[in-house]
Structure 1
Amino acid sequence: MTQLHYVVEDKKGRIDKVLAEVFSDYSRSQIQSWLKEEAVNVNGEIVKANYKVKQNDCIDIEIPEAKELTLEPQDIPLEIVYEDDDVIVVNKPQGMVVHPSMGHPDGTLVNALLFHAGSLSSINDVIRPGIVHRIDKDTSGLLMVAKNDVAHIALQDELKERKTLRKYVALVHEVIPHEKGKIEAPIGRSKDNRQKQAIVADGKEAVTHFTVLERFLDYTLIECVLETGRTHQIRVHMDYIGYPIVGDPLYGPKKTIKGNGQFLHAKTLAFTHPTTGELMTFDSELPEIFKKTLKEIENND
């Protein structure tokens, strides 16, 4: 069992926030889970996440042994847009995690796909079978999934060569005055918050193209096309230029339109079929919450 020790000198505030700053290799959510498991004590006493640290507090953490993730097929409803012997195209709902992680051990898209398809490609590690690309938990829309290794390699190569078309629709804060834009800004892990990505000088190349679809009094509906596929790319890029996505819990304003996360939908997907060589193009409807919100904004304008 790993043990951590820290004596408070000049830090103030909640213990979960302080520990996330001190032990930056661990996320705040991971530290909060230790606090829930009563693995953190201060001056010999178990404390909760809202404990406010004081100077000279002695903090000891006994990190619990990691539980091994297992991958079980689960009978979870899926919206299958297309399927053959090589590929599945699925319309992922908002709120569904793509693959298991320590925070989400089951109930994911992969669990559902294994129940539906029986087997998927084995190119990735054991908890990400078939996953060629991913979208965030609270982003909805189209994903391509490989059912065998040959298909997976072909789809992966096309992504790397930037030949796969991925179009998103997003609702952003403020009114964008110009019709089109191209954002080129490297993305990497935030130095201040490990849950976030940020524009950093030594980050990976990231390119997003956007086009204005409709303007409202305080918002803009846009279409985004990904040239690269970095974590949180559209969310980070739109926040960077001053038009954060509505409902985004990480990068947007806290008080905003009610919803279940960011108003971002992977609407269109196009790729070359790994066996037939045919160009496959798929489109999807905006989720009901998205369409309802747009109507409400129109009525209020």
Structure 2
Amino acid sequence: MNENVRIAVVGATGVVGREVLSALLDQGVPSERLAALASERSEAVELEYGEDTLELEKTTPESFRGVGLVLLATPASASRKLAPVAQAAGAWVVDASSAFRADGNVPLVLPTFNPEVLGATFKGRIVSIPSAVSSALVSIIAPLQKAFGGVVRAQVTAMMGVSSAGVSGVGELEKQTAGLLSAREPEAHAFPHRIGFNLVPQVGPFMANSPWTEEEAGWTLEAARLFGARGETPVIAGTAVQVPTFYGHGLSVHVQLKVPAPVEQARAALKTSPALKVLDAPTEKVYPMPMLIAGDPAIHVGRLRTFPQAPEWLSLFAVVDNAGRGGALNLVEAGLRLLQRPA
């Protein structure tokens, strides 16, 4: 890898963008190699980067000149516009949004699952990463699939923190909570309904002429793309629920295996994955919770149970840091691997 290659982080002031900068700092990337880009309203703002500061610049086509890697922590609408421009400028592009996840010409890569794709030949210079929920589900299913001869299907209820809607989502929960505690009924802007002290069974827009949201449909699509290259694709479906927590997504998962799986064996299988951390001692009140996940690169898994009447079904609860492991770390790991490709 060229140690002098410049890296641009687009959306640097957002929830994921700030985590991207933190991950790059942890990787030892010096500030002089970085360009922190955002919208015009954030121009000239300074961000701390270790002992240095980064001055935010407005994102324009000229921003990508001389840049070798562009990390897009932007909404899908912005990514669709910016990724082709950065690619045309000669940069590698890794996108964290849903913009290219369904595009068969753009590799979908989860660095902890299929990193080999980043070294293979593919069309163009754009790479997409899966959603935080898809990343967690694939990471959980993969060791079970290997240990028990296959996974037939997985049913999930995803309880998603408001940071899934970015800075505006975090701000709205803060404002609504304060308002409700002061007996003021708040207005909803970032979400379809009030999120303070409420649950909303809709995350993102619904698909056209469909009862499924784009978030929910994405889990099925992304799992098919990731597992498809390996032969057997389990069916994944479920419901996304917006919950009044700030960070971390909780997943109630029911997995149907091809053969019965005693809990002890399932626990052992999950422990073989470096992407997972098993917290499963419920009688001691040890299990995954969003408050434990911040800054942890592992996906937490616990509450493992089976049913005597249906021994091939395994139930569990998992938590993923949606801004960190589910977004920024996957983005950075994929990008740095691309820079290791031969010129």
Q: Choose 1 or 2 for highest CA Rg.
A: 1
Judging by fraction of residues, say which structure has more strand.
Answer: 1
- The reply to whether TM is greater than 0.5 is no
Where relative contact order (Cα < 8 A, 6+ residues apart) is larger, the structure is 2
TM-score by length of 2: 0.26
Which is helix-richer, 1 or 2?
Answer: 2
TM-score (norm 1): 0.28
